[in-house]
Amino acid sequence: MLDTLEDIKEIILKKKVIIAGVLIVLVLGLLFGSIYITILSNEDKKELLNNVGIYFDSYKSISFQDKLNIFKESFLKNIVFFLFIWLLGISMIGFPIILIMIFYKSFLLGFSISSIFAKYKITGLYKIIIYMFPGKILVLALSLILAVYSINISNRLVSSCIKKKSFNFNAYMGKYFLLLLICILMCVIVSLIDAFIIPIFYNIKIG
């Protein structure tokens, strides 16, 4: 794991353009997601805010089976996202699709935050904090690391094909598989937090 972290640090130092590009896409996704609610029609906005209320109300009487369902849904959603990015890293078309996925991920996050705030105003800040920390932040941070790593490998693969040189997958796949295992482990941890810890904090009365 230490070798993987050192490799990630080396990529960060050498691939500043990739990192900058991914961060820009992330910020744009958050920005557009946050303002998207402002262009919704009154009927759509009313339905959206109603769904936000239903979402949080569902945590008031949550059973153990509900928590298991939340765990499975959270795990599958995150593992599919990570696995797709990971697979794109060893493909010729990885670069643009990974950026689209990062934009979509951050767009949904920005949209969710703005929706919660629109529903609960200032009192919703507590819900936003619980919604974000630590699960969403961990997933987003790991998504960025995986995206940079995957884009780097994908670009090297494309470059090798253009220059008609052989690409040594063995030099990358060991650490790349280890990064995938780290992502899987984090999916389990985040899903456990979402299912068994977050509901407790959602039910704490503030003010």
Write out the chain's pLDDT in tens, 207 residues.
555 556 656 656 667 888 888 999 999 999 999 999 999 899 999 999 999 999 888 888 888 899 999 999 999 999 999 999 999 988 878 888 999 999 999 999 999 999 999 998 888 888 999 989 888 999 999 999 899 888 888 888 877 777 777 666 676 778 888 989 999 999 999 999 999 999 888 877 655
Name the residue with tokens 């705030």: 117
Give the separation between CA 115 and CA 35, rounded to whole angstroms.
Answer: 10
77 in any annotated domain: yes
pLDDT for the residue numbered 169? 67
Task: Record the tokens describing residue 5, joined without a space.
Answer: 């972290």
Domain count, the chain: 1
CA-to-CA dists, residue 152 to 22, 82, 88, 98, 155, angstroms: 12, 16, 11, 11, 5
Give the separation between CA 55 and CA 75, rounded to whole angstroms.
Answer: 18
**Pair 25, 109: CB distance under 8 Å:** no
With residues binned 3-state (H G I as helix, E B as strand, rest as coil), the percentages for the chain, rounded to 5, are 85, 0, 15
Name the residue with tokens 């509900």: 66
189 in any annotated domain: yes
pLDDT for the residue numbered 6? 63
Q: For residue 144, give its domain range.
A: 2-55+66-202
Name the residue with tokens 């109300």: 57
**Pair 40, 48: CB distance under 8 Å:** yes
In this structure, which amino acid lies at residue 151? I
176 in any annotated domain: yes
Q: At what angle do helices 64-88 and 137-162 cross, to 10 degrees?
A: 20
Measure the CA angle with vertex 11, ends 103 and 133; round to 5°: 45
Name the residue with tokens 């990885």: 94
61 in any annotated domain: no
Using only C-alpha atoms, what is the Rg of the chain? Answer: 19
Q: Is the dihedral of CA 149, 155, 159, 165 positive or negative?
A: positive
133 in any annotated domain: yes
113 in any annotated domain: yes
User: Model-level pTM?
Assistant: 0.85
103 in any annotated domain: yes
60 in any annotated domain: no
Q: Count CB neighbours of 190 within 10 A.
A: 21
